[in-house]
Structure 1
Amino acid sequence: MDDDFWAGWPERWAGTDCDVRTAVGAIPREVKDLFRYDEVPWQQFPHFYGPGEEIPGLLATLASGDAHAADRALDRLWNNLHHQGGTIAVGALAVPFLLRVAATGRPELRAQTLRLVAEIGRCQHMGDGTREGLLQVAEEPLMVEGSTMCPVDWTIQAARQAVTDDLHLLLPLLASPDPEVRSETAYVLAAAIGELSHVFSALQSKLAREDDAVVRVSLILAIAQLAREHSDEDAPRWARDLWSDPGRPPEVRIGAGLAWLCLVTDPAPDELRALLTDPGIRQYDDLLQPVPWLTWINPTGVGLRSCIDEMLTANFPETVLDDPWGGGPSS
């Protein structure tokens, strides 16, 4: 290995052709809108199984009128861009085009296309249902992709910026007649890094009107994820008000209970423990398994149960962990 080539890595690579954040940020709006794939530097970033130049063809097929071919293309995109739960740089280049396909393409593939966008823009989280991990997005700074040696967090940052740049495509999907699309849209919106007041308002407004259990929980976790990352000091009280209100639907209380546990380091109050360990809650294991945050936690279909078990047995010594909200005991 050439030591001079790696000297100063990764800082020396920032802003260069090796930085996927720069590559994604340089794609003009008209190139995205008109699907001008030939103006994107795919060759700079291979996927998990081959050269990046293969990705535009799959994107074009996904957007085509051939239902069978589009379905196969989406399967290949998932395999190439999200292998074993990991994300890879060329996936961030694909995000603007995946969003446009999701907004205008085949309705039956919309939800899974949105899910792929969301997974490209977050760290590997399969099986992590802990209070620290469920809403975690960023990757450890020096974690790298073996094929490109690009820091994984650069890919995540690039994908999240692409999501933020295209909020105008995503926000209308919260009104989709398909609840799976609404749920996956919330999952993608949770990755936004700008226009946060607009995103928060849209998610909260939708939650107030939503009647589907899976979508309700997805909206709650999306709000909590954004609040956690951006240190919204009102979020713990908001979550507690939801889970402690017996007049709320059970799935709202469950989702808010998980959100609260992720937002604070306080031990779970007896009232919350009683709610989440009530035998009646088990009927929601299957119902809420499609919630995007829960799907990958346990492949046997008990993601909710796994999260509850992990979160209620976690030990958070006050002398080690600080309150992320910068205040005293959470209310």
Structure 2
Amino acid sequence: MDEWRTDPTFVMCEALVDGAELSSFVGGPYDVRAVVAGIRPEARDGFLLDEVPWEHFPQGNRVREAVHLLHTGDSPRVAGTGVVGGMCANDMRAAAVLAVPFLIRIAADTRHPYRADALAEVSSPARARYFGVASRDELLLHRGNTQYDDLCDDYDDYGVEVTGYPAGWSVAAARAAITADTALLQPLLGDPDPAIRIHAAYALATASDSDRAVRAAFRARLAAEQDPIVRAALVLATAEATRTHPHPPTTTWMQERWRDRTQAPEVRLAAAIGWLCLTNEPAPDDLRATVDDLTTDERAHTMHDLPWMAFAGGSGETGLQRCVRKMLHPEQPEPVGYDDPWALRH
């Protein structure tokens, strides 16, 4: 943390601790939302990294170097995507957000050897406090808005990062960056690689979707998708987008999916989880019976390929098992043992 104290943004965080109003920093050089919004399209497309003020945010220069190495393909992937994911895991998202537009462009380049790894990291800064989160109240939940005048709600909802930086600002900036590039991400829903299709859905689920275009893209792709795990990803992405922008017909559609015995078990489980997160209604008996019947150990590990489930797991539980316990059997105690969010991801 001593290195962080030499970072210019520490001045802002220190001022906040001393009682300064967060609103006084809105739109300034330390507001990552304003910085990301101000990156020129030519800089994004041309990877003009020197135009981005990386140095304004904790470990920003480290992120810049990682993006450069990843873009040029001159390094092992851990030097690129590993930095972004690692910083988010350590609750330091502000600088990682600056990488999002560039990671999207790497992912969209069908010739890039690390495009899948880049895409897997795109939405990491857009989600906060999601390790081990598996309850109806918090899974698939986005708080706040990307607009500057809603910054206080973001700040209150998300708290601060380990550096003291307002976490809501980082999340809002990441979501805005993904929203701005939905035209690059949507074609990836039909990519030949199933992992690309899954992570494209995972990233797009964080986009602001007030006109429901992204949700419509999920439904359209679902009609053509054959892989049951990718279909489950599209269902969860639809639920996440709907949680941000409620749409009762989609909630009903979720209910129809988990009741439909012609659907793949993975799809029915994803729809059941999505429906539970979209309603406050008690879980009906047929949902409980369906979920308990379909949640086998083998299927729980198969569904761990879905990032929603991978991040929800912990304490020796897969994400699916944890979701089932938290959502349908809250009386059951937490597993005993060290809660390592990375344990089931290797």
- Which consecutive residues of structure 1, in runs of 5 or more, have no partner in the other structure? 316-331
Deviation at 1:195, TM superposition (A): 6.1
Among 2, 15, 32, which residue is 1:20 paired with? 32
Aligned to 2:119: 114
Aligned to 2:102: 97
Deviation at 1:71, TM superposition (A): 4.3
Among 298, 321, 326, which residue is 1:310 paired with? 326
Among 292, 309, 312, which residue is 1:297 paired with? 312
Aligned to 2:289: 274
Among 202, 211, 218, which residue is 1:203 paired with? 218
Alignment partners' CA distance in 1, 2:192 and 2:317 = 25
Deviation at 1:314, TM superposition (A): 4.2
Aligned to 2:276: 261
Aligned to 1:192: 207
Aligned to 2:88: 82
Superposition TM-score, scaled by structure 1 size? 0.86
2:64 paired with 1:56: yes
Aligned to 2:253: 238
Aligned to 1:324: none
Deviation at 1:110, TM superposition (A): 2.4
Alignment partners' CA distance in 2, 1:39 and 1:161 = 19
Deviations 1:63-106 (A, max 9, x none): 1233x534433223322x3233x241111111111111111166
Alignment partners' CA distance in 2, 1:265 and 1:275 = 19
Aligned to 1:35: 47
Amino acid at match of 1:294: M
Aligned to 2:134: 129
Alignment partners' CA distance in 1, 2:155 and 2:295 = 42
Deviation at 1:137, TM superposition (A): 2.9
Amino acid at match of 1:76: V
Aligned to 1:326: none
Amino acid at match of 1:312: L
Deviation at 1:198, TM superposition (A): 1.9
Kept in 2, the 8 Å contact 1:92–1:120? The answer is yes
Kept in 1, the 8 Å contact 2:243–2:278? The answer is yes
Change (3 A) 1:183 1:301: farther
Aligned pair count reads: 307
Deviation at 1:223, TM superposition (A): 0.6
Secondary structure at the aligned position of 2:72 is classed as coil
Aligned to 1:141: 155
250-259 or 68-77: which moved more?
68-77
Change (3 A) 1:279 1:194: closer
Alignment partners' CA distance in 1, 2:298 and 2:89 = 32
Alignment partners' CA distance in 2, 1:179 and 1:218 = 10
Kept in 2, the 8 Å contact 1:45–1:90? The answer is yes
Deviations 1:268-292 (A, max 9, x none): 1000000011166443111111111
Deviation at 1:211, TM superposition (A): 1.4
Amino acid at match of 1:251: E
Kept in 1, the 8 Å contact 2:77–2:117? The answer is no
Amino acid at match of 1:82: C
- Which consecutive residues of structure 2, in runs of 5 or more, have no partner in the other structure? 1-10, 145-153, 332-346
Alignment partners' CA distance in 2, 1:120 and 1:106 = 25
2:193 paired with 1:178: yes
Alignment partners' CA distance in 2, 1:135 and 1:163 = 17
2:84 paired with 1:72: no
Superposition TM-score, scaled by structure 2 size? 0.82
Identity %: 34
Alignment partners' CA distance in 2, 1:4 and 1:188 = 31
Deviation at 1:39, TM superposition (A): 0.8
Among 2, 5, 22, which residue is 1:10 paired with? 22
Amino acid at match of 1:65: G
Among 266, 272, 284, which residue is 1:251 paired with? 266
Amino acid at match of 1:45: F
